[in-house]
Amino acid sequence: MNQPLIYCATDMDDIVSLPFASGVACAFTRRAPGKATPNEDSIALISCNSGAGILVIADGMGGSRAGDQASREAVNALSVATGSGCDNTDALRDAILNGVEQANARIGAMNLGAATTVAIVEILGREVRPYHVGDSMTLITGQRGKIKYQSTAHSPVGYAVESGMLDADDAIYHEERHLISNAVGMPGMHVEMGPRMILAVHDTVVVASDGLFDNLQVDEIIATIRRGPLPEAAAELARHCHERMTRAGDDQPHKPDDMSFILYRGS
């Protein structure tokens, strides 16, 4: 069975940076400031073979122990499903979908009322494809800040933004932003699969829980990650988000929460 190169459901004191697939990945996770209960996020970089792998962020719901159990179940199921290695796009896609379906069944069978969101990016050489369930998100941006892909949260607020009924800058302050309509462990769970994309040399992939996107506007995230070495960008992103969580401002988003992200650039 293939094992995640990184798997953490607690806290990281520092950014972890390492060669991964066909590039470099940086990962970080931390529980909400002042929180005594476990971090309910889980994070994984799962290597399938040389040049191939998947990035995974899972954000557990349900409170107490159930949330962290659900998120761990999601990354474990994906690790097992992709454990034999995948040599082509179809095999990796099938392994990811099977892993999410298995996690959905196992979390439901726990009978704890738990669920988890999940955001996944498959990497095969320079080709990537995102998947998600819930409001953990994927953002792909170019060196000049152009958004090449942004997932839509499976929530009333997310759909309102997508339809044009709600401005994206206003959505981050919406009182019902935390409500979601789709999660792993819910009856009727469905996986949204994004398009296949070819990464340019300086494109950056962000996979993150809502702890990041509920505290920083998308343009703030892009401004932080688009230039410079990836580890420095990741450290600045973690610092900026932590500051936003710990200091409320009248004109700034502020929502203390568990926060996890993975940044990836091809080489």
Q: pLDDT, tens digit, for every residue of 112-145?
A: 889 999 999 999 999 999 999 999 999 999 988 9
Which is the CATH superfamily of the domain at 4-266? PPM-type phosphatase domain (3.60.40.10)
- What gap in Å lies between CA 38 and CA 115, rounded to an integer? 15
Closest to 97 measured CA to CA, from 188, 193, 4: 193
The confidence band for 1, taking pLDDT boundaries of 50, 70 and 90, is: very low
Threshold 0.85, pTM exceeds? yes
64: phi > 0 → left, psi -120 to 50 → alpha, else beta; which? left
Closest to 57 measured CA to CA, from 114, 6, 3: 6
Q: pLDDT, tens digit, for every residue of 46-97?
A: 988 778 899 999 999 866 568 999 999 999 999 999 876 666 778 899 999 9
- What gap in Å lies between CA 11 and CA 31, rounded to an integer? 6
Q: Which residues of 24-53 are buried (b: 16+ CB within 10 A; e: fewer)?
A: bbbbbbbbbeeeeebbbbbbbbbbbeebbb
Both tokens of 40, joined, read 């309910």
Both tokens of 141, joined, read 């941006």
DSSP state of 31: P
Spans of all domains in the chain:
4-266
